[in-house]
Amino acid sequence: MSQFFQVHPVNPQARLIKQAAQIIHGGGIVAVPTDSCYALVCHLDDKSAVERLRRIRGIDEKHHLTLLCRDLSELGVYARVDNRQFRLLKAATPGPFTFILEATKVVPRRLSHPSRKTIGLRVPEDAIVNALLAELDQPLLGSTLIMPNETEPLNDADTICERLGKQLELIIDGGACSMEPTTVIDLTGPEAELVRQGRGDASAFGL
């Protein structure tokens, strides 16, 4: 059965964040609120945890997972970003956007799209997630918490506990968050392409 932490959404308790980071380092999968909706996250270097996360979500290796980064400089370690892309990213981060970009060699091949060698990246604007990222000192690998054959994300920690309590190591209750997932924008082509409309306003990209 998973652990259940009630974490303050503005001033996360350092003790609980440290425990959550230890769970992630130990191979755990964690449900965490973000600036869009709840996400499942795990250690990016833990192959077993990544495979479990994909099974829970019901997705294969062609579905982009997302690296949650602290800032654009960290994002730039994991993705190839030119000047045009950087200007677009700077205008929309931090915030509820996921960007599809070409992965660098730092990203394990098993995490990027098998044919396109791309990956999703985002810089969230959320105190709990950012406290976790600071404690881990590296990005988290995550995916929107939408269950197989469903279209709406899970948005309530108690519901997540009822449905996934036996499959997760930790559920972080930071209060209700948005029912909308991130807006997904593909920046790999000559023009930005809207992949999924979510909470983020895509007009900044001319979309």
Task: Residue 179: give its domain's CATH number.
Answer: 3.90.870.10
For 29-60, b/e burial (b = at least 16 CB within 10 A) is bbbbbbbbbbbbbbbbebeebbebbbebbeee
The answer to whether 68 and 38 have CB atoms below 8 angstroms apart is no
> Whole-prediction pTM value?
0.93
Sequence-ordered list of residues with C-beta below 8 angstroms from that of 34, at least 6 positions apart, any chain: 68, 96, 124, 126, 129, 177
Amino acid occupying residue 23? I
Region of 137 on the Ramachandran plot (φ > 0 left; ψ -120 to 50 alpha; else beta):
left
pLDDT in tens, the chain (207 residues): 799 999 999 999 999 999 999 999 999 999 999 999 999 999 999 999 999 999 999 998 888 899 999 999 999 999 999 999 999 999 899 999 999 999 999 888 888 887 789 999 999 999 999 999 999 999 999 999 999 999 889 888 999 999 999 999 999 999 888 888 999 999 999 999 999 999 999 987 888
Tokens of 76: 């730039």
> How many domains is the chain partitioned into structurally?
1
Contact criterion met (CB below 8 Å) for 35 and 95? yes
63 contacts 55 by C-beta, under 8 angstroms: no
User: 153: domain range?
Assistant: 3-205
